[in-house]
Amino acid sequence: MAGAVTNTERLIKAFEHGQKFGYPEMDFAVGRYTGNGIAVVEALRRRGYSVERNPNTLPQSYTLKSQE
């Protein structure tokens, strides 16, 4: 199926869109019913993005920051 977009690509696109409007970071959830697994966090890190876990959040929340 050509043109399928992964959750990682969808997050990157939303993040880049936010940066155009001056938002330096973006929060997103990981876990059951979110569509994002921990593999998304690892994929973002492999692509050079800074991803930090926000403490004491359920479902797990992470902050995506610009590429290092």
Identify the pLDDT of residue 5: 86
Identify the pLDDT of residue 68: 56
Identify the pLDDT of residue 43: 95
pTM of the model: 0.84
Could you say which DSSP state residue 4 is in?
-
How far is C-alpha 4 from the chain's CA centre?
18
Torsion angle defined by CA atoms of residues 12, 2, 34 and 20, in that order, rounded to the nearest 10 degrees: 20
> What's the pLDDT tens digit per position in 13-62?
999 999 999 999 999 999 888 889 899 999 999 999 999 999 988 788 99
Residue with tokens 């997050």: 11
Q: Cα–Cα distance between 17 and 34 in angstroms, integer?
A: 20
8 A C-beta contact, residue 45 and residue 68? no
> What's the pLDDT tens digit per position in 2-15?
678 899 999 999 99
